[in-house]
Amino acid sequence: MMGAIGQSRAVLSNEDLKIRYAWSLDRKIEESCARIIDWHSRFGGRVSVSFSGGLDSTVLLDLVRNKCGYPDVPAVFSNTGLEFPENGHFVRSFPNVHEIRPKKGFRHVIETFGYPVVSKRVSQYVGEVQRAKGETATKRLRLTGMTSRGTKSRLGEIPDVWKPLVDCGFRVSDKCCDILKKEPLARAMKTFGPPFVGTRAEESMQRELSYKHHGCNAYHMKSPRSTPIAFWTGRDIREYIQRESLPYSPLYDMGYDRSGCMWCLLGAHHSDDNRFELLAKTHPRVYAFCRDRLGLFDVLAVVERLWGERYRRKAKTTEPTVSPNPALVGFRIS
Ligand code: SF4
Atom of ligand 1 nearest to the CA of 181: 5
Task: Please choose from 50, 103, 264, 289 the residue to mutate so as to test ligand 1's pocket, defined by most ligand atoms within 8 A of CB.
Answer: 264
Q: Are residues 184 and 316 in the same domain?
A: no
Residues 232 and 269 in one domain: no
- Model pTM? 0.84
Residues 164 and 183 in one domain: no
Domain assignment present for residue 129? The answer is: yes
Mean pLDDT (the chain) is 90
Of the pLDDT bands very low, low, confident and very high (cuts 50, 70, 90), residue 11 is: confident
DSSP state of 172: B
Report if residue 254 sits inside a domain. no
Q: What is the pLDDT of residue 61?
A: 98
CA distance linking residue 284 with residue 297, whole number of Å: 14
Mean pLDDT of 21-48: 98
Q: How far apart are CA 56 and CA 222, in angstroms?
A: 24
Note the pLDDT tens digit of each residue in 158-189.
999 999 999 999 999 999 999 999 999 999 99
The structural domain count of the chain equals: 3
Is residue 91 lining ligand 1, measured as CB closer than 6 Å? no
Give domain status of residue 315, yes or no. yes
Does 236 or 5 have the greater pLDDT score?
236
Q: Residue 60 burial by CB count (10 A; 0-12/13-18/19+): exposed, middle or buried?
A: buried
Q: Are residues 241 and 299 in the same domain?
A: no
Q: Please indicate, yes or no, whether residues 216 and 283 belong to a single structural domain of this protein.
A: no
Q: How many Å apart are CA 297 and CA 195, to the nearest integer?
A: 35
Query: Same domain for 229 and 165?
Result: no
Contact (CB, 8 A) for 228 and 35: yes
Taking alpha carbons only, the member of 211, 258, 189, 227 closest to residue 63 is: 227
Residue ID of nearest Cα to ligand 1 atom 5: 177
Contact criterion met (CB below 8 Å) for 195 and 98: no
In a domain, 257, yes or no: no
Is position 97 within any domain? yes
Q: Does the residue 196 lie in any domain?
A: yes
The domain boundary residue, chosen from 186, 221, 248: 248
Is 60 a domain residue? yes
CA angle, 27 then 208 then 186, to 5°: 100
Please indicate, yes or no, whether residues 153 and 101 belong to a single structural domain of this protein.
no
Same domain, 33 and 165: no
Question: Considering the domain boundaries, does residue 94 fall inside one?
Answer: yes
The pLDDT value recorded for residue 310 is 74
Question: Average pLDDT, stretch 320-328?
Answer: 38
**Best of 82, 112, 117, 279 for a ligand 1 pocket test (most atoms within 8 Å of beta carbon):** 82
For residue 311, the tally of other CB atoms under 10 A from its CB is: 10
Domain range for 158: 117-172
102 lies in the same domain as 136: no
Question: Which stretches of 174-298 are assigned E, i.e. beta strand?
Answer: 195-196, 217-218, 225-226
Q: Which of 125, 151, 172 is the last residue of a domain?
A: 172
Pair 33, 158 in one domain: no
Are both 21 and 134 inside the same structural domain? no
